[in-house]
Amino acid sequence: MPNASLDTTNVLLGIMAAASVFEALLLIGIGVAGFMAYRRATRLVTDLEARQIAPLREQMNAILADVRAVTARVSQQTERVDHAISGTMERVDETAERVKSSVRERVYQAVGLARGVRAVIVSILSTHVRHEPSGSARRAS
């Protein structure tokens, strides 16, 4: 009977060895299939990037270059307009000051002339008023 027990043990060991070999082959197959799927996915991503993303990237770079050029031009024009407005405002202030001083001079001259005329009129009237009362007082007596 010891032989029967050994035969059973050997059969079970053979079955276990075959199952282990099958499991090893299955794991190797899964590893190879995973590696092939990885390579296929990588190739697909690379092709997709070359066909779709690279042209989009080139278009985006061209658009960004245009935006940069437009921004630079707008900035330059804004600076020119700001400089022109500042210069114009300075000239307007300068002209307003000239007009103000010119008007002030003429007003002062007109006021001086009016005061002079008034002084002459007051002087004539005060002289005329002084002579009248003494002349009217003589008539009343």
* 137 pLDDT above the threshold of 90: no
Predicted structure pTM score: 0.42
* 133 pLDDT above the threshold of 60: no
- Alpha-carbon span 94 to 86, nearest angstrom: 12
What token pair was written down for 126? Answer: 């005060």
Residue 1: predicted pLDDT: 52
What token pair was written down for 122? Answer: 């007051």
Residue 141: predicted pLDDT: 45
Residue 49: predicted pLDDT: 86
Give the CA count within 13 Å in the CB-facing half-sphere of 75.
Answer: 6
Q: Please, where are the H alpha helices in the chain?
A: 2-48, 54-140
pLDDT top residue among 14 and 1: 14
Residue 132: predicted pLDDT: 55
What token pair was written down for 112? Answer: 């001086």
pLDDT top residue among 90 and 136: 90
Cα dist from 120 to 51, 80, 127, 129, whole Å: 102, 59, 10, 14
- Confidence label for 128 from pLDDT (cuts 50, 70 and 90): low
What token pair was written down for 68? Answer: 């940069």
- Confidence label for 5 from pLDDT (cuts 50, 70 and 90): confident
pLDDT average, residue stretch 49-60: 87
Provide the 3-class DSSP secondary structure of residue 49: helix
The mean pLDDT of the chain is 87
Amino acid, single-letter form, for residue 133: P
